Structure 1
Amino acid sequence: MSTKNKCDKAAPLLLLLKGHPGSGKSTLAKQVARHLHLPLADKDDARDCFRAAEEQYGPAGTWDLNALSYEVMFSVAASQLACQQSVVVDSPLSKVELYQKAVAVAKKHNADVAVIECQPSDVGIWQQRLEARGKQELDRMTSHKPTTWAELTDLICRYNKKDKWSTDGTVKIQHYLLLDTSFGTAASHLSLVKQFFHDKGLARDAMRYGDINV
């Protein structure tokens, strides 16, 4: 069997990026999608559109726009998997129920599931990134996202440690990689992700693009 046929028959990958705002999660998601020619499903794309609709047409009433944004994100991802296409999914993924939803979507389409969690160890660098981004996005429809360190710490406190489901040993994750995104470059982080894919035999439909090294 040719290498091409092996790639074509490999299971697609549902790659879930996980991390709090300012952790470098979205930057890495875009790098992986761009370099490996993969579609990207971003929860905030849907959420920003709903926010714009609220501004134009008024409040959504009893609708939970955040939950609806996740539904849109998973629907886009499912469409890609149905075509045997690996897909990158960008969201905080703070609740274990969202991971369970992703697993169900992947199972339906015989796809692998991997979680890459971005977790900066240097709080000072994390704060600088978050607040710098907040200043850049003042004119965008992103008021649903924390833009200051105080807002982020308040959000994390409200999770009451439930966002730690991926590291507290309570959930078995098929494939998992924890990245310290405080240091290094986008290219070095991408190289670690590609090595992870190579070691686990993941996303072979995408790994045909280029070598392991960036």
Structure 2
Amino acid sequence: MANSSNPLHQSHHPLIIAMKGHPGTGKSTLARALAATLGIPLLDKDDIRSCTVTLQHLLPQSQSQPLLNDLSYRTLFEIARTQVRLGLSVILDSPLSNKSRLDEVVALGAKRVIVVECRPGDEIEWRRRLEERGREEDGTQGHKPATWEELMRLKEGYKGCDEYDIGDKAERIVIDTTAVGVTTENMLGRVLQFINSLE
């Protein structure tokens, strides 16, 4: 339930919370918890990308993935821009896999951008979660890696561009989503504490 005393809710100084991380790192789980607690819109790139799956057969295979991925980001950012213009804070759930995407987020005009980076320290646990999700979705999401091998190919395709210096473009908190004993509540508490420390 949204907290009516929450300073982010319908603020005239909107904030963007931009999730960052590879598939299966737990960023969507944390993003949903943040949205529910703060009572602000959650915009998920995967929701948009899922709507473009039927377009893949209209394009050459070599072009469909990058073109539809770019379309999904552009749509995500345009929707976010509208919310920010209305004075609403938003949470953006996407891999944010290169610096140019962060630049686009910053250009949306929010008072502040906070990057919540989900970086799992335990690769075995990360792999288990990714492949469990892949089995549950049973290939219905087409564009998401369902196996560890698919994820490794995706990471190789980034060619290191996903590891970039945020600099002074945004505030950043890094969360190890696979730390021993960590729960969604723990992670949520850490992020909220970080946000409050910036006020």
- The alignment's TM-score, normalised by the length of structure 1, stands at 0.81
CA shift, 1:171, in A, is: 3.7
**Where does the alignment leave 5 or more consecutive residues of structure 1 unmatched?**
202-214
| SS of equivalent to 1:162 | coil
1:13-52 to 2 correspondence within 5 Å? 13-51=15-53
Corresponding residue of 2:169: 173
CA shift, 1:156, in A, is: 1.0
For the 8 Å contact 1:114–1:173, the answer to whether it is kept is no
- Identical positions, percent: 37
Corresponding residue of 1:117: 117
Aligned length, in residue pairs: 187
Corresponding residue of 1:212: none
| SS of equivalent to 1:105 | coil
| SS of equivalent to 1:17 | strand
Among candidates 159, 175, 188, match of residue 186 of structure 2 = 188
In 2, distance between residues paired with 1:67 and 1:88? Answer: 19
1:76-95 to 2 correspondence within 5 Å? 76-95=79-98
1:199 aligns with 2:197: yes
For the 8 Å contact 2:98–2:161, the answer to whether it is kept is yes
Among candidates 103, 106, 114, match of residue 103 of structure 1 = 106
Q: CA 1:131–1:104 in structure 2 vs 1: closer, same or farther (change >3 Å)?
A: same
In 1, distance between residues paired with 2:115 and 2:169? Answer: 8
In 2, distance between residues paired with 1:45 and 1:111? Answer: 26
In 1, distance between residues paired with 2:103 and 2:174? Answer: 19
Q: Letter of the 2:177 partner, please give it.
A: T
CA shift, 1:170, in A, is: 6.5
CA shift, 1:75, in A, is: 1.1
Q: Letter of the 1:164 partner, please give it.
A: E
For the 8 Å contact 1:43–1:73, the answer to whether it is kept is yes
In 1, distance between residues paired with 2:89 and 2:100? Answer: 22
For the 8 Å contact 1:115–1:173, the answer to whether it is kept is no
**Where does the alignment leave 5 or more consecutive residues of structure 2 unmatched?**
none
For the 8 Å contact 2:11–2:88, the answer to whether it is kept is no
1:162 aligns with 2:161: yes
